[in-house]
Structure 1
Amino acid sequence: MLMMRSFIFLLCVISGYAGASLLRLESSLDLSQWNQGHEANAHQLLQVSIALTIQNADLGVETLLRISDPASPNCGQYLSAEDVAHMFKPKPNAVSDVIKWLGESGIDQSHVKFSYGGDRLSLNLSVQEATLFLETTFYHQTHQETGQEQITCQYYHIPESLVRSIDYILAASPVPTHQQIPRQQVVLNNKVTALAPLPPKCLTQTTLVCLRKLYGIPDDVLPHPNNSFGIFEPSWISWLPDDLDRFFDKMQKNLVGHRPKVDAVNGGYLQRNQTGWMFNQEPNLDFEYAMALTSPQEVINVQVGSYEQVGNLDDMLAAFDKYYCGSINPGDKKYPDFYPPGCNATACDCGSSSPPKVLSISWGWTEAGFTSNHLQRQCLEFLKLGLMGTTVIVSVSDHGTASGRGSFCIDDRTGNATGGRFSPTFPSSCPWVTSVGGTQMPQPTDLRTLAATTNETAFRKELSKQILSSGGGFSNVFLAPPYQVPNVALYKDIEKDHLDEIQDRFNSTGRGYPDVAVRADDYMIVSNGEWKPVSGTSASNPVFASIITLINSERMHAGKGPVGFINPVLYSSPYILNDVVTGANQGCGVDQAFRATRGWDAVTGLGSPDYELMRQLFINLP
C-alpha cells in the first residue's frame, strides 16, 4: 500500500459488489491538477500489489477502544505484533480466489509473492502485461505545479465475483524523482531575528523557556531505558549538526555534540550537500525542540528512503511491522532494476525496526487526493500501532479548512479550487491518531498588559499576503469515533447557528479534528546557521509528542507501561487540557470557518496541554 510515494506511481482502488462477468471501475485518484501526456511505454516496469479484504476490522476497533478506556479492566493490555496479524487475517478463500484469477489471466504464479500477514499479493508486470491484465490504458501525467510525474489509469476491470475479496489494487513505477518532495507544513518567516535575551518575551516569540512555562513542562524527568521517542522524516529532509549545536548552546547546553539516533529505513539517506528551508528547516525544528524538551531522553530519527528514492509512511510502517510488508527478497525478482515494497537500491527493510512508544509525524496530505478504501486501509495500520501500545501524534495543516500545496479545496466541477467544500488532511483525519492543531498568544496593543495575558487563541497569522491558520474540521472519509461523539455533539449544539450557514461545506457526520492544540507561532530555531522564527502546526506536534514521552518515562519508573492510544482518556477527562475559546480558522473562501468555543472545537480540539494535570491522571491509570 504505497500511500505516500513522491515518485511516479499508479493507484487503482476496488469497490462494489459481487456479480457476474467483468466490472469496469473508475479510479478515484484525484487527477484535476495533472496534465495527461502520452501512453506509457509498454516495457515500463510496474509492481502490482493486490490488497485482500481483511477480517475483523470492527473487532480491532473494539479492542483498541477497550484497552484505551481508563474505566476498562483491560486498560493498557497491549497486543503483540503476532496477535495483531492473527486478528486481521484476510477473508476465507480470498487468496485462492485471487490466485485462480491470476492463473486464468495467464500470469506466471511463480512470480507472485505474499506479505507475511497474507493480506497482500505482489507481482512485477510490464505496462503491456498490466494493460492486458486489468483491461485498461496507462498514461504519463505531469503535476501542474510540482512537475512530478506519474503513470495512472482512469479505469480498469476485475471479475465482479472478486469485489468482496479485493480491497484495492495498486501498481507503482519506481522511477526516482528525489527533487520532488512533500511540501513541509512549517512556514518560514524570512525575517531574520536575533534571539532575545532570556527570559524572552513569550508573547511575541516561542522558545524552550516559553513552552516550559506555558505548559508546565518539567526539565528533570529521568528517561526510562524502555522508553522511546521517534520522529518520521523522509530522505533528503535532514537536520544539520552545526544548527543543532548552535541551538543547544543557547537553549540546552548539555546537548551540545549530541545527535538523534538514526533509524535508517530503506537507506535512511541524510543529505548534507544541499541546504535551505526546503531540506533542513523541518528536521532542525523537530529535533532542536524534541531533544531539548525531553533531555536526556534519546530521540530517534526515523529516516526513511534513499538518495534515489524518497521514503514515505508505507516504508516506515513496513519497517515497523513485518506483517505489513510485501515481498522482501531483492535477489528473487523478475526485473533486476525493480525494488519490491519496502525495498530500494540500497536496502530492503521489512520488520527491521521497533516502533517507538511515541511517534511524531509533522507531515500531511490531502484526503481528497486518495480513495476512501485506500485511506481506510492506511488508517488501519495506525490502529494496529495503537493496539501494540504506540502513541501516534500527527499535525494538521496550516491552511485552515483547505489542505495541501496550493490550499486545496473541493469543487465538484473542476476537482479543486481556492473555494468550495472544505478539504480535510490525512493522516490527521484518521480516528486512531492524536491530531494536533495550533494556538498562539494574543497580541495586545498595550504593552503593559502583556504580562497579564496568558490565554491562548486559535493560530491565525498573515505572512507574505497569505493567511495561515490551524487546520481543522471534519473528515469526508472517517465517521466520528465513539470516544468523541458527545464532545462533537456539544460543539455542534453550541455553534449550531454558525455551522448551519456553512453546512454544505463539510461532512457533519465525519471524524472531527484536531484532538488537541499547542502553540504554533514564531518558534525560534537555528536553520542554516541563523536564528529564525518559524510558524506552523508542525512546530506544535513535536512539543505535544515530547510531553507524552516524558509522561511515559514517569509511568515506566512507576512500574507501568506506555500510555498508548490516548484519545479516549483525553475526551473522557478534558479538564487536563487548557480550553481555548477564542479565534477561528479560515479557508476555501470562508473567513471564519470553525470557531473556537468552550469544550472541543474543530480548530483547537480539547485545548492545549497542562503537564501536571496530564501526569497526575496518566500516572494513576493501570
Structure 2
Amino acid sequence: MLWHFLSILVATPLGLTSPVSPRWSDLQVKHSWPNVPRNWHCEGPAPEGTTIDLRIGLKPHREDALVEALHEVSDPAHEKYGAHLSKAQVAALVAPHPDTVDLVHAWLDHHGVPASSVSPSHSGDWLTVSSVPIDQADALLGASYQVYRHAETNETLLRTVGYSLPAALHAHVAVVAPTTYFGGPRAWRRTSHLTPNGRILPDGDAHIQAEIAKLQARPGSLATVPSSCGSTITPSCLRALYNTSTYTPAATSKNTLGIAGYLGQFAIHTDLKTFLTKFRSDAAAANFTVVKVNGGEDNQNDPGIEANLDIQYAESISFPTPNIYYSTGGSPPFTPDDNTPTNTNEPYLDWLDFILAQTTIPQTISTSYGDDEQTVPLDYAQSVCTLFAQLGAQGVSVLFSSGDSGVGSDCVSNDGSNRSMFIPNFPATCPFVTAVGGTTGVNPEKAASLSSGGFSNYFARPSYQSTVVPSFISSIGTQFSGLFNTTGRGFPDISAQAENFQIVVSGRTEGVAGTSCASPTAAAVISLLNDFLISQGKPPLGFLNPLLYSTGTAGLNDITSGSNPGCNTKGFTAVKGWDPVTGLGTLDFGKLQAIVG
C-alpha cells in the first residue's frame, strides 16, 4: 500500500504530450499570496543590474515511483525492507521525462536564456539558471520581483508575491524558486533562559552521575530516573532516561550523525570541550567536523546557542560516533548596493541540493528549524518534502523538531479569509520526516506545553497513520471543530525532553528549552540504533515512521499527560497511544535494540 502524501488540493496529472508550438504567453498562476506576507514590507524594485539565480524543479517521469520505492525499503513487513537505494537508483526514479526537459529548455530559449547558464542537478530533477537579470525573470514568470524588508529582523529579500508559468509547463514544472517563499527556517528554541524552576550546574552533574551509578548497580532500577533530572537536564539524565548508558558504539568507522545548521549559527569547538568536560568527562576529547554548504561559514568567535545545543547533545549521547555539523549559507540578505546582487537564499534547497549530491551521507540527520506551514508556498513545500523522501530511500533517518508554539501562536489563516485555525509547522508536517515533539519531567515524563503538534493542511494522512490518527480524532469528538484539518498528516511522531537543558555558550553554562532540544536528543538515540545494526552487518533504519507506527511502537514510552495550549485554547491533550502533542512517545534504546536486532 502506498503512503498517500499528495497535497489535499487536487493535483494536476502529469501530461507528457507537449503542444507542437507552445503559447509561451499563455500564463497561468502557479502560486501567489493574497497579500504581502505578514511583517514584510515592499521597498520598491531592485536596482538596475540585479540578477537572480533561479531553481526550476521538474516533475518526475513516474510520479509515484519514489514513494513506492520508499515504502518498500522502509516497511518492516515488506520483503525489500532495508534494501535501500543507491544515489543512482534514486536519480533514475526522480528523473523527468525527456519531453519535460526539452519543453523547459525551449521555454528558456524563447526568452533568450543562454544554454550555458542552465545546469542540471545530479538527478536531473532540478535546473539551476544562473545570473538571470530581474527583468528577464519577471518576463519568464509573469512576476514582479521587488525588494522586501522584514519589520522585526530587518532582513531584506528579493521576492515576488506571485508567479505564473505558461499553461504548457504546469504539468512539467513543480516549482520555481526563489519566488514567493518569504520566510526562512527559524530555530525552534523558545527561550535561552532556564524556566523558573530550572537551575544552572556550572560545575557539571557529578551528583546526578553518582545517583545514576547507584541505580545502575541495581538491575532494573533505571525505571526510576533521579528526581533531580526533573528540573535540570544533562547528558547523564538523557542517557539514563532513554536507556543508552550501557551501550558502546562499535561501528564508528561507518556510522555518522549529521546536524543541519542555518542562519549563521556556529557550533564552537571549545564550548563542546568545556561541555563534555563538565557533563561527560569520558568524552572530553571528542570533536566534530564542520562542512560548509553554499557559502556557509565557521566563525569560532560567534557562538550560536542553537548550534551549540545541537552539537553538544548529539555528541554527548552518541559518543564516540562521528558528528558532522553542516553550516548552511545561501546568499546573504539582499542589499541593493551589493557588487554582485544575486540573491538565492533558499536554505532548505541549498542544503538538500548539497547533501543529495554527496557519495556518503550520514545515516541520521537532525534539524531544529522550521516555519509555520502556511507561510511556505505549497509548491515549494511539496518539492522540498519529496527531496526528504529521496534521503529516506537511500537509508537516511531524517528528524525535525516539531516547533515550540503548541497548536499555534498567530492563529489566523493567511489565505485572505482570516479565519481562526491551528497552525501546523513545516517541515515537521512532511510525511517523509520524523517529527519530534517535547516532554518534560521524569517519573513519569509528561508533555511539554511548548510542544507543537497538530495536522497538516498541505499533506494528506499517510497510510502508516491510518489507524492511530483517526482513533485520536474520534476520541475528541467535536472539540476544536473547524480549527484543524481532520484528514491531514498528524505530527509529531515521537518526542523527547525539551526543557531545562544545560549547555555551554562562550564558556558559560546556560539553560535552554524547546523542541530544538528534543530533535538532536532523539537523533542521537537513533544513531546508536544505526550503529548497532551496522555493527551486526545490517542496513541502517532509514525512514523511521513505518517502523515506529508498527513493530517499533513496543519500544516507545507512551506519554499520557500534559497538553500543548495555543490559539487561546488548551490545545490537544496527551493520551494513551498517539496524540498530536507527544506522538507515539519517547524512545527506549534497549527495547528498540531488541526489536530491530
Shorter-chain TM-score bucket reads 0.7 to 0.9
1:131–1:138 contact (8 Å) kept in structure 2:
yes
Shift of 1:295: 1.6
Q: Tell me, in whole angstroms, the C-alpha distance in 2 between the residues paired with 1:156 and 1:280.
A: 36
Alignment-derived partner of residue 285 in structure 1: 309
Q: Tell me, in whole angstroms, the C-alpha distance in 2 between the residues paired with 1:367 and 1:603.
A: 17
How many residues align? The count is: 539
Q: Structure 2 counterpart of 1:131, which letter?
A: D
Alignment-derived partner of residue 333 in structure 1: none
Shift of 1:183: 4.2
Q: Where does the alignment leave 5 or more consecutive residues of structure 2 unmatched?
A: 1-9, 209-225, 334-344
Q: Tell me, in whole angstroms, the C-alpha distance in 1 between the residues paired with 2:246 and 2:296.
A: 31
> Cα gap change, 1:311/1:131 in structure 2, threshold over 3 Å: closer, same or farther?
closer
**Counterpart check, 1:535 vs 2:516:** no
Superposition pairs for residues 240-259 of structure 1, below 5 Å?
Answer: 240-259=268-287
Q: Structure 2 counterpart of 1:420, which letter?
A: S
Shift of 1:605: 0.2
Q: Structure 2 counterpart of 1:601, which letter?
A: D
1:27–1:153 contact (8 Å) kept in structure 2:
no
Give secondary structure in 1 for the equivalent of 2:482: helix
Q: Where does the alignment leave 5 or more consecutive residues of structure 1 unmatched?
A: 1-13, 323-350, 442-452, 461-468
1:186–1:539 contact (8 Å) kept in structure 2:
no
Q: Tell me, in whole angstroms, the C-alpha distance in 1 between the residues paired with 2:98 and 2:73.
A: 28
Give secondary structure in 1 for the equivalent of 2:261: strand
Name the stretch that deviates more: 208-217 or 149-158: 149-158
Alignment-derived partner of residue 439 in structure 1: 439
Alignment-derived partner of residue 411 in structure 2: 409
Q: Tell me, in whole angstroms, the C-alpha distance in 2 between the residues paired with 1:490 and 1:122.
A: 45
Shift of 1:397: 0.7
2:501–2:513 contact (8 Å) kept in structure 1:
yes
Shift of 1:395: 0.7
**Counterpart check, 1:314 vs 2:293:** no
Q: Tell me, in whole angstroms, the C-alpha distance in 2 between the residues paired with 1:15 and 1:482.
A: 19
**Counterpart check, 1:86 vs 2:92:** yes
> Cα gap change, 1:38/1:157 in structure 2, threshold over 3 Å: closer, same or farther?
same
**Counterpart check, 1:47 vs 2:61:** no
Instruction: State the TM-score, normalizing by the size of structure 1.
Output: 0.81
Alignment-derived partner of residue 519 in structure 1: 497
Q: Cα deviations across residues 97-151 of structure 1 (Å, max 9, x unaligned)?
A: 2222223334333433333322233323211222333344222211122111122
> Cα gap change, 1:409/1:26 in structure 2, threshold over 3 Å: closer, same or farther?
farther
> Cα gap change, 1:186/1:270 in structure 2, threshold over 3 Å: closer, same or farther?
farther
Name the stretch that deviates more: 550-559 or 390-399: 550-559
Alignment-derived partner of residue 565 in structure 2: 586
Match of 1:297 among 305, 312, 321: 321
Q: Tell me, in whole angstroms, the C-alpha distance in 2 between the residues paired with 1:306 and 1:271.
A: 16
Give secondary structure in 2 for the equivalent of 1:61: helix
2:286–2:320 contact (8 Å) kept in structure 1:
no
Shift of 1:387: 0.6
Q: Tell me, in whole angstroms, the C-alpha distance in 1 between the residues paired with 2:259 and 2:434.
A: 14
Alignment-derived partner of residue 143 in structure 1: 150
Q: Structure 2 counterpart of 1:588, which letter?
A: C
**Counterpart check, 1:425 vs 2:421:** no
Match of 2:447 among 458, 461, 468: 458
Shift of 1:152: 2.3
Q: Tell me, in whole angstroms, the C-alpha distance in 2 between the residues paired with 1:268 and 1:135.
A: 32
> Cα gap change, 1:422/1:91 in structure 2, threshold over 3 Å: closer, same or farther?
farther
Alignment-derived partner of residue 263 in structure 1: 291
Q: Tell me, in whole angstroms, the C-alpha distance in 2 between the residues paired with 1:298 and 1:583.
A: 35
Shift of 1:82: 0.3
Q: Structure 2 counterpart of 1:125, which letter?
A: V
Give secondary structure in 2 for the equivalent of 1:526: strand
Alignment-derived partner of residue 250 in structure 2: 223
Give secondary structure in 2 for the equivalent of 1:364: strand
Superposition pairs for residues 87-486 of structure 1, below 5 Å?
Answer: 87-123=93-129, 124-171=131-178, 182-189=186-193, 193-195=200-202, 197-199=206-208, 201-224=228-251, 225-234=253-262, 236-274=264-302, 279-305=303-329, 312-322=347-357, 351=358, 354-402=360-408, 407-412=409-414, 420-441=420-441, 454-460=443-449, 469-486=450-467
> Cα gap change, 1:293/1:142 in structure 2, threshold over 3 Å: closer, same or farther?
same
Instruction: State the TM-score, normalizing by the size of structure 2.
Output: 0.84
Give secondary structure in 1 for the equivalent of 2:350: helix
Shift of 1:311: 7.9
Give secondary structure in 2 for the equivalent of 1:293: helix
Shift of 1:315: 2.2
Give the CA RMSD over aligned residues: 2.7
2:188–2:515 contact (8 Å) kept in structure 1:
no
Q: Cα deviations across residues 235-288 of structure 1 (Å, max 9, x unaligned)?
A: 6311223322222112221322432122232344111333xxxx4211221222
Shift of 1:364: 1.2
Name the stretch that deviates more: 502-511 or 155-164: 155-164
Q: Cα deviations across residues 398-435 of structure 1 (Å, max 9, x unaligned)?
A: 11122xxxx4333357687xx93111111111111111
